[in-house]
Amino acid sequence: MVADRDTFYMRKALQLAERGRGQTSPNPMVGAVIVDNEGAIVGTGAHEKAGGPHAEVEALLEAGAAARGATLYCTLEPCSHTGRTGPCAPLVADAGVARVVAATEDPNPLVSGRGLAILRERGIEVLTGVLEREAVRLNDAFFTVMRRGRPFVTMKIATSLDGKVAARPGATTRLTGSAADRQVHRDRAEVDALAVGSGTVLSDDPLLTARGAYRARPLTRVIFDSRLRTPPSARLFGTLGAGPVIIVTAPGPDPERIAALREAGAIVEVVEGVDSLRDALRMLAAHNVTSMIVEGGPTLHEAFWNAGLVDRVQIYVASTPLGDEGVPWLPFPVMSSPLIVERSARLLGDDTLLEGYVHRPD
């Protein structure tokens, strides 16, 4: 059946798109496969880094003359605008491709159906919606920043078996083992930014870097600090080679504190308004942050959750409890919320990673 064949080749295109994971931001990951009338794959491509060739271009170059009369499978609509590279849709048409199967339309307002329209105007048969859900999930960050004007936010925490985050207030408490730690740093290697509150900086003095996992791009570190308590001596200012540090604060801070933090290397952004968290995320999007892991602490997590700004939840649950004196995470059970969908659990050594996506109507 044609539908089964389209699904088969689109899965291959999605697998190719994974080559760009952690490398393409602020662009999407895209894969492309060109198949001739006999069902043979004659060209493949992937968008592997921002500014590099698009997946369709790579596939067309490999296919050469074999692209004429063939079907192009691509995980995202071929683009119709000029950015750091030229538009793909006219190239696809010029190559003589007879049919294009795109998993989903491009949410970028500069494209948004225009690439498909170019193809149809050139007499090419176009089909969309094949494995669309998987294609959108692949590029959650890109779709979120295009549709909502803010980064895709993951709320991440490590808790004890009884839901505590520290043995006592202000105490640094190691909860998870090496397998969980490796997963944390793999995730850090893929996103654009990590975020914490000033309380986490004061209690843990974290580096907020990706360690033990390859990362080709700078990693932005964000500190939400309404009272500007972050000390200029914080260790993360010694890691500016890994990426910028942005401090988000409220109006009215001491100018001398701002000057001291800027002298230490921080970018200080003053955000005001009743919707300050959302405005802060829009500001971060302007810094090309399309995905961000909010690592703590509980006060910042609760603010993000209550503001409706969490897109995914990751809870690393250790195998041992901390007891009654431990500091609880949040005053409500996040994972049992009706907003959480696509729940999953997997073992990482002695620990368990619980994940879920937050469903909100667009």
Give catalytic residues, as residue numbers. 56
Kindly state the tokens that stand for 106: 């491009």
Please state the φ and ψ torsions of residue 23, each to the nearest 5 degrees: -120, -20
C-alpha–C-alpha distance, residues 67 and 121, integer Å: 19
- Separation of alpha carbons 301 and 196, rounded Å: 9
Q: Where are the alpha helices (H) located in 18-79, listed in sequence order? A: 55-63
User: Concatenated DSSP letters for 274-327?
Assistant: TTHHHHHHHHHHHTT--EEEEEE-HHHHHHHHHTT---EEEEEE-SS---TTSE
DSSP 77: P
The answer to whether the beta carbons of residues 109 and 82 sit under 8 Å apart is: no
Phi-psi region of 267 (alpha: psi -120 to 50; beta: other; left: phi over 0): beta
* CA distance linking residue 85 with residue 49, whole number of Å: 12
